[in-house]
Structures are given as C-alpha cells and as structure tokens.
Amino acid sequence: MKIGEKIKYLRQANGLTQEELADRCELTKGFISQLERDVTSPSIATLTSILEALGVTPEGFFRTGDADERVVFNSDDYATRTDEDLGSSICWLVPNAQKNAMEPIILTLQPGGSSFIDKPHQGEEFGLVLNGSVTLHFGDRQEKVKSGEVFYFEASVPHKLINNGKRVARVVWVSSPPSF
C-alpha cells in the first residue's frame, strides 16, 4: 500500500488543498507534499492526526478493499426472528452485522405490537418508517412517527417502538454499534 497516494486521494476527495490539510494537523504544506509523494513516512501520531482530519479511521484506511468482500445482500441472506408475545419480527438484513459498526434490520410490528425495550447504551439509533406508524418511547418522551418519517437519537435512555395503529408497521432500523 502506498500511504501517500491514499492520503492524497482522501485529501482531494474531501476537497482540501495540501495547505488546508497541513493546517488542520499542525503540519507544514511541505511535509504533506513529501508524504503524498512517499518521500517521507509519518509517525503513528501524525498519521492518526491526518486520518482524523480526513474523516477516516485507521481501520478504514488500512482496509484493503478486498475484491471478494460482499457488499450486496438479498433475501436469501436475511435472518428473521418472530416474537409472538411482542407481536413483532426482526429481519436482519446483513449477515454477521454484529461485527460491523452498524446493524440494519427491518422491524415489523403487528397492530398493538412492540419492540423489546432497549436499555441505555452507547451509540446512535436511526429509523425510517416504511409502512404504518409507530410511537417511539424514548425515556419519558413519546413521539409518533408516521410512514415516510425518520427518527434519530443517541441511545442514552431506554427506548422502544409500539404500533398503536390498526395496520402493520414496518421500520428500517439501524443501530450503531449493533444492539439487536
């Protein structure tokens, strides 16, 4: 891997000049230029600073982009679990997503159904209501979320969804980090 070449690509993708990147990292434009031409190598601390300024993690930077890595999944890959007591089913869209930074599911709630209560945890939650409507219970708050609307919050308080409507509700729900 040519570190300098990859840094240059990321810098340009972020619309930054060498000088702007250098300023963000408290480096010189000359150092960035030498780095991009692979004339010099950064220390770990300097590389970490540069990657942070470019909005990429060290893990993401050094990932090889393996051509065999799966990036498209279909219904044959999905796994579903139904909870009759809660009147809900969870469909995991990406196999083994628990090891990833986020975990997307489709939550289906029957009329009167609910998700389990998710205890407070680090991370964020995002949802898009595809069909029907749900009530988001977020700590002491209750917010109605209708078809086509989204919710987004830090998962610092207990939360769950309830379908108080008369139609089945379907929600694409993404948790980061995985919590389903």
Q: Which domains does the chain have, with CATH numbers?
A: 3-62 (1.10.260.40), 75-176 (2.60.120.10)
Torsion, Cα 168 174 175 180, to 10 degrees, reads: 50
- Cβ contact 37:11 at 8 Å: no
Res 1 pLDDT > 90: no
**Alpha helices in 40-179, H assignment, sequence order:** 44-54, 58-62
What is the tens place of the pLDDT at every residue in 118-173? 999 899 999 999 999 999 999 999 999 999 999 999 999 999 999 999 999 999 99
Higher-pLDDT residue of 180, 89: 89
Tens digit of each residue's pLDDT (9 = 90 or more) over 37-83: 999 999 999 999 999 999 998 888 887 665 567 789 999 999 999 99
Q: Which residues in 50-61 are b (16+ Cβ under 10 Å) and which e?
A: bbebbebeeeeb
Residues 6 or more apart in contact with residue 99 via CB below 8 angstroms: 178
Average the pLDDT over 91-115 and give the result.
90
Tokens at 64, concatenated:
């090889």
